[in-house]
Amino acid sequence: MMADLCLMGWSFGRRRCRRNLELRLEVMVDPDAPNPSNPTLREYLHWMVTDIPASTDDSFGREIITYESPSPTMGIHRIVLVLYQQLGRGTVFAPQVRQNFNLRNFARRFNLGKPVAAMYFNCQRQTGTGGRRFT
């Protein structure tokens, strides 16, 4: 009940509602673009969402780089999702390019500090055509 009231803007003191005022930034990059053996586009920026309230998910944030699905042309690619804490609402701005994006420099530029969470998954292009057929 109190968490719901905090989300609606009610104030019960800084300690109890502070976590609901914290904002996050989510970034998705491919450090292996265009291919793992020659990553000349490292890091490729697939997605960026800012101003995500800590008590919610990324659908409540502001998408400043639209989602672009990973589509590796060759090899196994690592796709990395990183979550940072923002200093405040509207304190992070969209980068100019997706190619050769440098996440560490970006975090330093906007005083994001170290990530609060990170994860990755591997993906690769599906070979062949047709795949499994169902009857």
Question: For 6-42, how does the pLDDT look when each residue is reduced to its tens digit (9 = 90+)?
Answer: 444 444 444 445 555 799 999 999 999 999 999 999 9
d(CA 78, CA 103): 15
> How many C-beta atoms surround the C-beta of residue 109 within 10 A?
12
pLDDT value of residue 18: 52
pLDDT value of residue 5: 41
**Topology at the third CATH level for domain 13-123:** Phosphatidylethanolamine-binding Protein (3.90.280)
Task: Give the bridge partners for 118, in sequence order.
Answer: 82
> How many C-beta atoms surround the C-beta of residue 58 within 10 A?
18
Provide the whole-model pTM: 0.78
Question: Is the distance from CB of 96 to CB of 39 less than 8 angstroms?
Answer: no
Task: Tell me which residue of 109, 105, 24, 99 sits closest to 62, measured CA to CA.
Answer: 24
- Domain ranges for the chain, please list them: 13-123
| Ranges of the chain whose pLDDT falls below 50 | 1-16, 129-135
Eight-class DSSP state of 12? S
pLDDT value of residue 1: 37
